[in-house]
Chains A and B, each alone.
Chain A
Amino acid sequence: MIYLDKYLSTGGLLTPFEISQVLGTNHETQRHGLVLTEGEAREIIEARNQSLHKHGRLELDIDVINKMILVFCNSPYINSQDYASTISDLVDIFYYVKNESEDRIGDDDLIDIMKHLYDKSCRGSTDLLKNRELALLTRILKQSSDYYLHEE
């Protein structure tokens, strides 16, 4: 499809407006000692675009990045040195689970579950989060009849 091809080939949205939106989260996160530079904001958006491409998904805004930052900024396992890369990893895991669960879980619910597992049973390990805890979650979700998305 021509319009989506054009959109996807340009890497999606990477405008100054979107970068400033990500930087806008600094107001909330700086009290936890986490602040993104413009370069890091750009890196996160680029990583998110690559994740979307890798997982074959499309998103027309950057709400997931902002939600992820605002939920995870108080985690004891995120520090300022790997803040940007951890957010990028979490965003990638998020889209992976969306696909694996066949969209059976909403954005907010998934981010909340990820935060809980990341802080508790995974103790800050994104590998454990993806390969152990969320792998189990997706299996359960796939067996679930509670399909919230539009039924095709």
Chain B
Amino acid sequence: MNTGIEKLTSLNKTVIESNRYTLSLLDYGSQIGLMDQHGIDQVQTAMLSILKGLIIKYTRGKSTSLKVDTAQSILVSILYSTDARLSIFSEPEDALTYLKTNNIEHIYNEGLKLVKLCVDETNQLYQKIADNKLNVSLDAYHTTIDEALPEFFATYDPIFSAQDTITSMDYPLLFDDTEIEGIYYIKQYLEKLAMEDCFCSLFSSNSVEKLLTNYGQVYCIDYRETLFNLFEVLLTNSIFSVLIGNSANDLSISPSQFELLKQKFNGLPQTDYSSLISQAIEILIQDLNINQPALNNYIWRYPSLLMPRFCHALEHNNLMNVIILDRQETQPVAIKWDQGNNMGDEDFRLMVDQILECSDGAEKAALINSNIHSLRDFIDVLEADCLFDDEYTALFNTLGSLELSILARIVFTEELRTGGINYSLGSAEEKQLEMPWQAEFVRYWQRLSSEKIRDIEYHIFSSFPSDGSSEF
């Protein structure tokens, strides 16, 4: 069956339309003189004869008439089978010769056999896909495989409605071909889904789920319930991961790596973007040991889709929507501090006295967190000389990444002002600072894991003003 590619004949430029192959072949035959009116009439009469037989079957012999819409649908179903048979020929002239030398009923029956064979083969392919489903939390993916496709196979009728593709298959492919109808559509869908699944299975479930969590946060969606193509999300991050020197199956891209990527591209003329992406894809295919030519070709179709998105995003400074950055698992994101919710002076003095009476850092931290509700009060406490040595660490440990990112912005004001969003705080050095708490914060920072720093950086850079100012 032709899968949607239009055939240009060698004799002239008449287009044989794949989704109405038999009819378009007759038009073509008439144009080039290979089919006269008598031959066309014969085909028409034979088609109506097949239709008549099917109407009797359809009504179980109890009615000789049908609604025109139903009759048309049955006729299209007949043509679906003749298309299946005639489009096997690589040249339209050969198909025309076959059409002239065989009666239509024979061609129809042969085509119907091919369609039924395709149903069987596609069902087998479906079983393989269902047996090797990805372990991923995407509702549409699972309902498509577990519900929509079995429903399709249970109701698909190659005789009366072979062209129908009525299903609730919601999971989108990266390159779907909606021009195709009926079982041949399902076949191409499943063949592509199998390739996409094969690719996606090269990544660990944990890293996929982590990427999807980040993806959901970027787009403010519950990714489990959203319709998007998993293959595209993984392929995109894998490509850019390769570009920053990670291995292809590492989907994590940190904010600092992201900045490096931007620098890399910003230093290049736009014409070079494409070759850089192509190089990354070559490495990716090699790294992931992708040997299937079909999957290989499928991946190579992606740059045509990616490049316009990428260039647009780079130009408009929203590349974070294309490349999904790594961040920590969800921390308490609600910030502890409200603007303007400051304590009165007397209350503040009383609290500081209480802090000084506490015996250890944990107790002090608990007291501070239960009484302090604004950033200004929090900084005032840090500067009130009521915390000593490890007590700072005890307090910082009780803060989430968001609060720590705010403190980091204060402590690293100068670095951020000069380095902007290109500055990596991961390698902060000991430096002269005005306040003891700031020095303690730098020491605390140096002891943090790189993952934690990445997460805090994410909060810093995701709200960083585009003019490079570090004010908040």
Contacts and interface: CB of A to CB of B under 8 A. Distances in A.
Interface of A: 1-4, 6-8, 52, 56-61, 63-64, 95, 98-99, 103, 106-109, 148-150, 152
25 contacts: A1-B76, A2-B23, A3-B44, A3-B75, A4-B68, A4-B71, A4-B72, A6-B44, A56-B67, A58-B66, A58-B71, A59-B64, A59-B65, A63-B64, A64-B65, A98-B63, A106-B62, A106-B63, A107-B63, A108-B62, A148-B60, A149-B60, A149-B63, A150-B58, A150-B60
Of B23, B58, B71, B75, most A-chain CB atoms within 10 Å: B71
A37 B47 CA distance: 33
Given A103-B59, A150-B58, A152-B161, A60 B64 contact: yes
Of B23, B44, B58, B65, most A-chain CB atoms within 10 Å: B65
B25 to A, nearest CB: 13
Of B23, B58, B62, most A-chain CB atoms within 10 Å: B62
Interface string B59-92: 1101111111101100110000000000000000
B366 interface: no
A61 B52 contact: yes
A1 B58 CA distance: 19
Interface in B248-287: none
Contacts of B421: none
A28 to B, nearest CB: 19
A111 to B, nearest CB: 11
Contacts of A109: 62
Nearest to A152: B161
Given A2-B23, A60-B52, A60-B55, A95 B69 contact: no
Of B69, B75, B76, most A-chain CB atoms within 10 Å: B75
Main secondary structure of the interface of B (DSSP, over half): helix
Interface of B: 23, 44, 47-48, 51-52, 55, 57-60, 62-69, 71-72, 75-76, 160-161
Question: What are the 4 A-B residue pairs with the smallest beta carbon separation, nearest first?
Answer: A106-B62, A59-B65, A58-B71, A60-B52
Nearest to A53: B68
Given A63-B64, A106-B59, 12 more contacts: A1-B72, A1-B75, A3-B44, A58-B68, A59-B65, A60-B48, A61-B64, A95-B65, A103-B66, A108-B62, A148-B60, A152-B160
Contacts of A59: 64-66
A14 to B, nearest CB: 15
Nearest to B160: A150
A7 to B, nearest CB: 7
Nearest to B75: A1
A152 B71 CA distance: 13
Nearest to B44: A3
A15 to B, nearest CB: 12
Contacts of B59: 103, 106, 149-150
Contacts of B47: 3
Of A60, A106, A148, A149, most B-chain CB atoms within 10 Å: A60
Contacts of A7: 48
A98 B62 CA distance: 12
Contact of A57 (B58, B66, B75): B66
Contacts of A63: 64
A107 B62 contact: yes
Contact of A148 (B62, B66, B72, B76): B62
B63 A103 contact: yes
Of A57, A95, A148, most B-chain CB atoms within 10 Å: A57
Of A7, A64, A95, A148, most B-chain CB atoms within 10 Å: A7
Of B44, B64, B160, B161, most A-chain CB atoms within 10 Å: B64
Nearest to A110: B63
A10 B313 CA distance: 58
A59 B57 CA distance: 14
A152 B156 CA distance: 10
